[in-house]
């Protein structure tokens, strides 16, 4: 409304202003040149405005309460999700691509380094042509994990590296058939190396 207008700027002040205006007008119809029809019309309009004003105020209060309830629900939900994600992030072996599918990776951030898990279920099979084939379970280590295959000729001898691979199989070529060999596998990511897997032996009957 224009500055200096006689109509109250605050909607809450308009109803009592109208009630006063109607009452004074009704008491001075002839002097003001007004009629009862005009007063009746103003009274009807005032009543409708008062009803709509109260309804709007109630809806605003309801909306505020609903917004506050929504915010509390959102806060509780996010809090629970963060607890769940923290548990997932702390569990070794959860692949980065699975985290990405869950939508819990932060763009541009570097994930905290995780020590790789030791491979499991290592088996070794010797063939007559001198090829010893190893197979193992990656145990949740992601696809880019490097596996280090180690061998030794006796339980008392130091381990030597036979080779590396990102697969879960490895062929140790040009070995002497019938000659006992012990094998183990470690997982490596960056500078972190896991504890060794279980040991597997070829030609175990030669072990004392």
Of 27, 60, 85, the position where a domain reaches its end is 85
pLDDT band at 208 (very low <50, low <70, confident <90, very high): very low
For 111, 125, 196, 198, 201, the CA distances from 182, given in Å and listed in that order, are 36, 11, 12, 10, 5
Spatial separation of the C-alpha atoms in residues 157 and 182, rounded to whole Å: 10
Q: Is 171 in contact with 162 (CB distance < 8 Å)?
A: no
Spatial separation of the C-alpha atoms in residues 45 and 11, rounded to whole Å: 14
CATH number at residue 194: 2.60.40.10
Is the residue at 187 inside a domain?
yes
| pLDDT over 60 (residue 3) | no
| pLDDT over 50 (residue 207) | no
Helix runs in the chain, H state only:
11-27, 29-32, 36-90, 96-102
- Report which of residues 208 and 18 the model is more confident about: 18
Examine the domain organization and report whether 124 and 198 are in the same domain: yes
Containing structural domain, residue 19: 11-85
Q: Is 42 in contact with 25 (CB distance < 8 Å)?
A: yes
Q: CA 112, 115, 120, 126 torsion: positive or negative?
A: positive
Out of 15-19, 104-108, 127-131, 163-167, pick the least confident.
Answer: 104-108
Is the residue at 190 inside a domain?
yes
For residues 68-105, one letter each, b for 16 or more C-beta atoms within 10 angstroms of the residue's C-beta and e for the rest, the string is: eeeeeeeeeeeeeeeeeeeeeeeeebbeeeeeeeeebe
Is the residue at 94 inside a domain?
no
| pLDDT over 60 (residue 51) | yes
| pLDDT over 60 (residue 203) | yes
Is the residue at 114 inside a domain?
no
Spatial separation of the C-alpha atoms in residues 94 and 72, rounded to whole Å: 31
| pLDDT over 90 (residue 47) | yes
pLDDT recorded at residue 4 = 65
| pLDDT over 80 (residue 14) | yes
Examine the domain organization and report whether 190 and 128 are in the same domain: yes
- Report which of residues 172 and 73 the model is more confident about: 172
pTM over 0.85: no
Mean pLDDT within 71-76: 90
pLDDT band at 2 (very low <50, low <70, confident <90, very high): low
Q: What is the DSSP letter of 204?
A: G
pLDDT in tens, 103-153: 887 666 555 557 899 999 999 999 999 999 999 999 999 989 999 999 999
Is the residue at 49 inside a domain?
yes
Mean pLDDT within 49-75: 90
Spatial separation of the C-alpha atoms in residues 24 and 120, rounded to whole Å: 95
Q: How many domains does the chain have?
A: 2
Examine the domain organization and report whether 76 and 124 are in the same domain: no
Mean pLDDT within 171-192: 94
* Rounded to 5°, angle at Cα 31 from 29 and 34: 35
Examine the domain organization and report whether 187 and 127 are in the same domain: yes
């Amino acid at each position: 409304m224009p500055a200096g207008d006689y109509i109250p700027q605050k909607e809450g002040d308009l109803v009592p202003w109208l009630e006063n205006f109607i009452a004074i007008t009704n008491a001075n119809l002839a002097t003001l040149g007004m009629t009862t029809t005009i007063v009746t019309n103003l009274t009807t309009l005032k009543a409708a405005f008062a009803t709509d004003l109260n309804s709007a105020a109630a809806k605003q209060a309801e909306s505020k309460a609903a917004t506050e309830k929504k915010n509390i629900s959102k806060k509780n939900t996010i809090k629970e999700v963060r607890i769940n994600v923290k548990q997932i992030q702390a569990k070794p072996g959860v692949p980065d691509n699975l985290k990405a599918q869950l939508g819990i990776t932060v763009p541009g951030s570097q994930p905290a380094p995780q020590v790789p898990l030791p491979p499991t279920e290592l088996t070794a099979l010797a063939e007559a042509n001198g090829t010893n084939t190893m197979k193992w379970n990656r145990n949740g280590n992601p696809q880019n994990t490097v596996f280090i295959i180690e061998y030794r000729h006796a339980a008392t001898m130091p381990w030597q590296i036979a080779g590396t691979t990102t697969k879960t199989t490895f062929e140790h070529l040009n070995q002497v058939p019938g000659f006992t060999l012990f094998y183990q596998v470690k997982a490596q990511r960056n500078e972190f190396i896991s504890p060794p897997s279980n040991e597997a032996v070829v030609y175990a009957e030669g072990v004392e």
